[in-house]
Amino acid sequence: MLRKTLLVVYTALAFGANAAHADVAGLRDGDMKKLAIHMSPAPVPEAVLLDAADGEHALADYRGKWVVLNFWATWCAPCRKEMPSLDRLQVAMPEIAVLPVATGRNAVEGIQRFYEEAAVVNLPVLRDPKSQLGRAMGVLGLPVTVILNPEGQEVARLIGDAEWDSENAQAVLRALIAGP
């Protein structure tokens, strides 16, 4: 009897986990159709990012929070189009950390000028000047946005730009946060 009960419980848990994944996948519409949700969280390499004053910030500093990690560059037109929506997402969902990472050669002055022109005021200036994190994470083009769980693992990835403050994007992020 106990064995049969355990089998039923394990089967329900397995279906529940798959159903939760399906629920998030079912919410994907518009730009979020490009979001690849991983069946299992993937490790993310440790990295040190630089701020505008060359201060160091580790990804590990954000453990305990959901993170929207966006790889971008000042010269990338789709990145520039997307950035204001990331700024608005940070305001709409303050419980997450939205981290834009300027990858490769991006002058601090150019980043700051772009932030000013685009009215980006809620996001930090973070840089990966030698593209070490980008390469380690397999970022081959820009923009790329990676969703990290509170343990610092990659759970989803979107290649290309998106309207991150859209109702649909926020619904997908809330479903990921809510989990199974």
Domain layout of the chain by residue ranges: 2-178
Q: Is 145 within 8 Å of 162 (Cβ atoms)?
A: yes
β strands within 10-84, DSSP E: 35-42, 48-50, 56-58, 67-72
pTM higher than 0.75: yes
- What is the predicted pLDDT for the residue at 15? 34
CA distances from residue 167 to 8, 148, 155, 170, 173 in whole angstroms, order as listed: 37, 20, 20, 5, 10
- What is the predicted pLDDT for the residue at 55? 98
Q: Output Rg (C-alpha) for the chain, integer angstroms.
A: 18
Per-residue pLDDT reduced to its tens digit, 88-109: 999 999 999 999 999 999 999 9
Q: Is the peptide bond before 143 cis (omega within 30 degrees of 0)?
A: yes
- What is the predicted pLDDT for the residue at 21? 53
Weakly modelled stretches of the chain, pLDDT under 70: 1-23, 25
What CATH class has 2-178?
alpha beta
